[in-house]
Amino acid sequence: MERRTFILTSGATALATQTAAGANDRVNMGIIGVRSRGREHTDIFARQPGSAVAALCDIDQAQSERAVPLVEKAQNTKPRIYQDIRKMLESKDVDAVSIANCNHWHAPSAIWAMQAGKDVYCEKPASHNVWEGRKMVEAARKHNRICQTGMQSRSIEHKKKAVGLLRQGVIGKVYLAKGLCFKRRQSIGKTPEEAVPAGVNYDLWLGPAPMRPFTRNRFHYNWHWFWDTGNGDIGNQGVHEMDIARWGLGKSALPASVYSSGGKFAYDDDQETPNTQTAVFEYGDCQLMFEVRGLNTGGEASIAFDGSNFIGNLFFGSLGYMSVDSQGFQVYLGDKRELGPSMKPAEAKIWDTAPHMANFLAAVRSRKHTDLNCDVEEGHLSAALCHLANISYRVNRRLTFDPVGENFGTDYEANQLLSRDYRKPYVIGDLL
């Protein structure tokens, strides 16, 4: 592979100084990863005023072909299809990309795109590890790119209102935020090694991850439960609640220490990541706690029951506490837990990605990353909390952390897990 694939050319440098908008101020999007969540990205950007889907990219040719009619129906034009992200990024017809591929590909995809002069909407979690998350922030600033992380709670009205009330002191001094990811997960079982499906570029799918034999469990969706490609449920569903917890606490840095424990209980299957996990982060003047439960469980406090899941956040302060979930928020004050300010939004506004993508498009036009509701640095910090919890879990001990240097000091074992060995040629170190 030629080195020009990985370095900024003079043309890309020039492009990076321009506003990423096509004819008539239209932002032409390239969607990376179009199965499941990526198909939602495709539909929303195809229907957003001022944007169009110009290209689709997926390592599975069949997924791209299935997504083409969706685009044609929404905008009456046919997008180009790519299997290799590097080829798509060479296109001058693509102004910005929306990344919905696997976690281990988020940072390389985003950095390559920003190098090529594209703005980026990147699905959560921003990164697969702490080091590459910081590199995403550096790339966005160096190349003057707009990079939004897809944690759409930051654009949902009742959650914005809840955090605003916390800032105003509705429950007094907040001393504890607790994120809950009680999401029922069935066993994935065990699947044998087999031939790679026709039309799938498995080498590209693995990318920076180690070469492994193909199995169904390591591929579609279940890749979340393997350390090579995913981050467990704390970095999957959990990162949304982790972000709200940190947002509510008003913390713009990482903590001084972390301890996480748990395990993979009840199931004998291929999953590597824990299905039960608790993490505690120390900020000095407050704590952030997080809990993952993938097995049968009850709820906690006022967090709403959704099917078989209890997902949300609790904030505890000197005057009372607040619960926040997809159904709204409630405040309880004093020792008698009297109901304070509360909000139950209309059903249609509970979980909507479109406003978050509209915010991204507005920032693409303004060229101000400060206009973003979830700039890449916010995404990096919240994802990093999930990574720190997983590192503590994997080394099985409490860890002291340097939030300025973003490392564990002289702790070699823990520091090794801040990054990864990137399989060549998918190496981030050469990209900046």
Digit-coded pLDDT (tens) for 87-114 = 999 999 999 999 999 999 999 999 999 9
Structure-token match 């949300």, residue found? 312
Strand duo 119-123 + 147-150: pairing: parallel
pLDDT of residue 352: 82
Q: What is the pLDDT of residues 110-165, one digit of tens each?
A: 999 999 999 999 999 999 999 999 999 999 999 999 999 999 999 999 999 999 99
Task: Read off the tokens for 415.
Answer: 């520091």
pLDDT of residue 430: 52
pLDDT of residue 254: 98
Whether the CB-CB separation of 98 and 30 falls below 8 Å is answered with yes
**Cβ neighbours of 351 (radius 10 Å):** 13
Strands in 197-275 per DSSP E? 257-263
229 vs 236: CA distance, rounded Å: 12
372 vs 149: CA distance, rounded Å: 9
Please list the ranges in the chain whose pLDDT falls under 50. 1-23, 348, 431-432
Domains 3-152+356-375+425-430 and 155-350+382-416 share a fold: no
pLDDT of residue 44: 95
Specify the DSSP class assigned to residue 78: P
Structure-token match 């999930």, residue found? 386
pLDDT of residue 345: 82
315 vs 219: CA distance, rounded Å: 37
328 vs 377: CA distance, rounded Å: 26
pLDDT of residue 428: 83
Q: Which CATH superfamily is domain 155-350+382-416 in?
A: Dihydrodipicolinate Reductase; domain 2 (3.30.360.10)
Q: What is the pLDDT of residues 165-197, one digit of tens each?
A: 999 999 999 999 999 999 999 999 999 999 999
Question: CA distances (Å), 297 to each of 178, 183, 259, in order?
Answer: 17, 9, 23
298 burial type by CB count under 10 A (0-12 exposed, 13-18 middle, 19+ buried): exposed
What pTM, to 2 d.p., does this model score? 0.93
Instruction: Please name which of 375, 383, 353, 380 lies closest in space to residue 146, comparing C-alpha atoms.
Output: 375
- Residue 388 contacts by C-beta under 8 Å, 6 or more apart in sequence? 130, 254, 255, 258, 260, 279, 281, 399, 401
- Residue 330 contacts by C-beta under 8 Å, 6 or more apart in sequence? 302, 322, 323, 339, 340, 342
Task: Read off the tokens for 432.
Answer: 């900046």
Please give the CATH architecture assigned to the domain spanning 3-152+356-375+425-430: 3-Layer(aba) Sandwich (3.40)
95 vs 97: CA distance, rounded Å: 7
Dihedral angle, C-alpha 370, 373, 375, 381, nearest 10 °: 120
419 vs 93: CA distance, rounded Å: 34
Domain borders along the chain are 3-152+356-375+425-430, 155-350+382-416
Question: CA distances (Å), 69 to each of 34, 57, 220, 231, 273, in order?
Answer: 12, 15, 22, 32, 36
